[in-house]
Structure 1
């Protein structure tokens, strides 16, 4: 989640600096900055984790209930788990939040609220990523992630049933859906001449330059090169045709479900020779590093990939990234994680994990509030970036805590009481302690969050 917030801080701050050309040059000349430019892969990590938990907990529940699955109840609890907090944040976004800031630029912030007067209802039924689709017309545009995640969850009972009853058909079905997603993504990328997201940074940089006061062209060309007229169109088409659509993003979720089933089938421990474990770590590290940093030479030289190569990259990198994350999960749960497992198992992460959903919903409000309430543009530096990121993260955690205490925790408490009573009615001799120890829903997780 911190990776997502860092990416959004850099993206937002770039429009509020008085030395934008320096920022652009730093992005193009610093290979370490690729970790921030490629922060979009953190969203695929959340899709992966969502699919993994649905499959793992769902298969465990199916085994406990001898293959019985109450799909309407699953959908109902999922909707109740997500929507109250979501609706509350939308309400605060359009009513209270505009009153909390001031300054010469704050008045322009209200323009971002206009879509909520027309399309707020699409968020509450989780179709906002398809209609209106255009991020500029969506209420709380970062809600596209929740739309995608809900659509994937609606499909999950089918995959769960097949994995439990017909394993071979499940493999064939999920493989076919994954292949379809790869083909659609690659086809859209090729037909619309899309470059990988990290190279779309060039288009975004060109937009920043285009908004600067006109010079004689020498300074602009020195930093970024000639600015094409279709830079805005290229950047928007990537977001709307590939980045936010469920048919292009379901691959990460399916990979997560596959790893979740693998964990369940092997009872959380996949046995392997030590040499295989070492090879797996090396392969995962090398592959993930190539995905994050591999295009730096191309970006640094202001070049573009061949369109066919770009289409292949856009289609396969996100599922492959999730395979690398899946290896980390398998290795750590199977006893091959060493210090990495110790770090990821740190107990301090447990309370923070309960705030993840609220963090995703609220952090854009915090970042935009800090930027739009500034009386002057900032002078970009690494120190400024550290300060803004740290402040945005801390404030988001504080606001997410209050959201959890006021909305999420009470709703989950009510859901738990209702579920326990239903179980007691069905099995009056079942001890309450046993009910508390059971995970009754396949989506019993701290909901992730985004961009």
Structure 2
């Protein structure tokens, strides 16, 4: 019934949008009912998805490289989930052990750090959105939390609702076990998902395990938001506070593994599944381990305010790029000893690894952001800012929500064994991405985009008529008309919801989902 109602609204909204667009007086202010209906317009929402920013003086244009970062982080995550999906459908799982012996294959399990890229982007965009707010602090906080919750949870439960339709469309040898497992998880976890505390439930190998990211992101958001509101005009104090919080978070994460068999990061090939399960449940899914990457996003935002006009010698830039690249490579390949031996170092070594692991990745992301946002990114910035990544980036939140259950569904309904090999798994990754993006587009049209438009209509009083007015403004007259829509409809925190292209006058729009995204 719900899908039918949404489909009817989609048709009605599209027809209304066509009729309104055909009017001669396009600048006329539309009524509330018209704006409500056009929020479901297939045409307008697709244009929003494909829209790219043209104003080179806007922050949205400067931060276009975020789209590339978000997209490639998502691809990395999907690849990692394809390799890490546990199923009796796989044949020759011995290949998994053989892969763990090769240093180059560490790139795949390093997908666990790609999630932290979404945390970083989410925090940066949240700070940018809050910095534009002029309302009282209490109002900003309340509205931000409410809007963030709505724009995250509505798409999540829409996807979960659609999963109840899968028995009608799919079948397979183990399909019943998949659906029984899904129904059981929903009965047990729906309240935790709604309250954003699912990451504290012991569910390392569940179908909905990937939703831990949304819970952690929301928890870190609640901690960070009041600090940003209070210190947004005190740049040095804000940086100092987030540096201290980052150190505290890393210290707590290191303390969590003390005296346990938990590894200092996720080691996917271990002597016992209980080690992997405990590492995920008691360490990786908790916010402390990821806090430094989230807080680093805030630090990057405040550092950038004073870094734009700093003249940096070319030799210093070269050293900084080499150092950042070294940190990124180190974060991926320094984990090799833990795949070669159960205890490759002392307890102190494990503690140091747990403490510095995410710090190195945070510094890597920090420099990329500072360099690319100030025009020092060179070819990397140009590539990541490619317009083709814009719609792919805006769909990352939906893809993140869909891809993990879809992988498990495919494995459960498979009627043949699947060879566990690089070629098969990479091919599966491409297939999962294609399917997930197609389904994410439908979720965007039916749910994500209408939710974002209704959110703006309720909390901002904005409508689509505002957007139609924009083309009439030319040659710089429209730069005050572009709201900053930094929703990361992904993973993020899409990465989450709308995009980077619509604006500067709406801080709350940037506090939508995380993708990416939300991972």
Say if 2:207 and 2:404, in contact at 8 Å, map to a contact too.
no
* Pairing partner for 1:182 from 231, 247, 250: 250
Aligned to 1:159: 227
Shift of 1:300: 3.8
Q: Tell me the secondary structure at the aligned position of residue 347 of structure 1.
A: coil
Say if 2:124 and 2:300, in contact at 8 Å, map to a contact too.
yes
Say if 2:122 and 2:297, in contact at 8 Å, map to a contact too.
yes
> What is the distance in 2 between the residues matched to 1:165 and 1:260?
12
Aligned to 2:488: none
Say if 1:81 and 1:412, in contact at 8 Å, map to a contact too.
yes
Q: Flag the 1:158–1:420 CA change in 2: closer, same or farther, 3 A.
A: closer
Q: Flag the 1:436–1:297 CA change in 2: closer, same or farther, 3 A.
A: closer
* Pairing partner for 1:254 from 295, 318, 323: 295
Is residue 53 of structure 1 aligned with residue 125 of structure 2? yes
Shift of 1:46: 0.6
Give the 5 Å matches for 1:5-154: 5-12=78-85, 15-25=88-98, 27-59=99-131, 61-62=132-133, 70-93=140-163, 95-113=164-182, 114-130=184-200, 133-135=201-203, 140-154=208-222
Give the 5 Å matches for 1:6-405: 6-12=79-85, 15-25=88-98, 27-59=99-131, 61-62=132-133, 70-93=140-163, 95-113=164-182, 114-130=184-200, 133-135=201-203, 140-197=208-265, 200-203=267-270, 206=271, 231-266=272-307, 268=308, 270-300=310-340, 304-405=344-445
Q: How many residues align?
A: 410
Cα deviation, 1:49-74, whole Å, max 9, x if unaligned, reads 11111122322x14x56978621111
Cα deviation, 1:114-144, whole Å, max 9, x if unaligned, reads 12112212211212112xx211597722111
Structure with the bigger percentage of helix: 1
Q: Flag the 1:249–1:307 CA change in 2: closer, same or farther, 3 A.
A: same
Say if 1:269 and 1:330, in contact at 8 Å, map to a contact too.
no
Q: Flag the 1:417–1:436 CA change in 2: closer, same or farther, 3 A.
A: farther
Cα deviation, 1:303-347, whole Å, max 9, x if unaligned, reads 633222112112221132021011111111212211101100000
Say if 1:7 and 1:39, in contact at 8 Å, map to a contact too.
yes
Q: Tell me the secondary structure at the aligned position of residue 135 of structure 1.
A: coil
Gaps of 5+ in 2: 1-73, 464-472, 484-503
Q: Flag the 1:251–1:189 CA change in 2: closer, same or farther, 3 A.
A: same
Is residue 415 of structure 1 aligned with residue 415 of structure 2? no
* Aligned-residue RMSD, C-alpha: 2.6
Q: Tell me the secondary structure at the aligned position of residue 336 of structure 1.
A: coil
Q: Which runs of 4+ in 1 moved over 6 A?
A: none
> What is the distance in 2 between the residues matched to 1:8 and 1:67?
40
Aligned to 2:490: none
> What is the distance in 1 between the residues matched to 2:457 and 2:174?
47
> What is the distance in 1 between the residues matched to 2:78 and 2:306?
35
Shift of 1:360: 0.7
Q: Flag the 1:170–1:104 CA change in 2: closer, same or farther, 3 A.
A: same
> What is the distance in 2 between the residues matched to 1:320 and 1:144?
23
Aligned to 1:427: none
Shift of 1:442: 4.9
Aligned to 1:4: 77
Moved more, 268-277 or 76-85: 268-277
Gaps of 5+ in 1: 207-230, 424-430
Shift of 1:17: 1.7
Aligned to 1:212: none
Q: Flag the 1:14–1:327 CA change in 2: closer, same or farther, 3 A.
A: farther
Relative to the length of structure 2, the TM-score reads 0.73
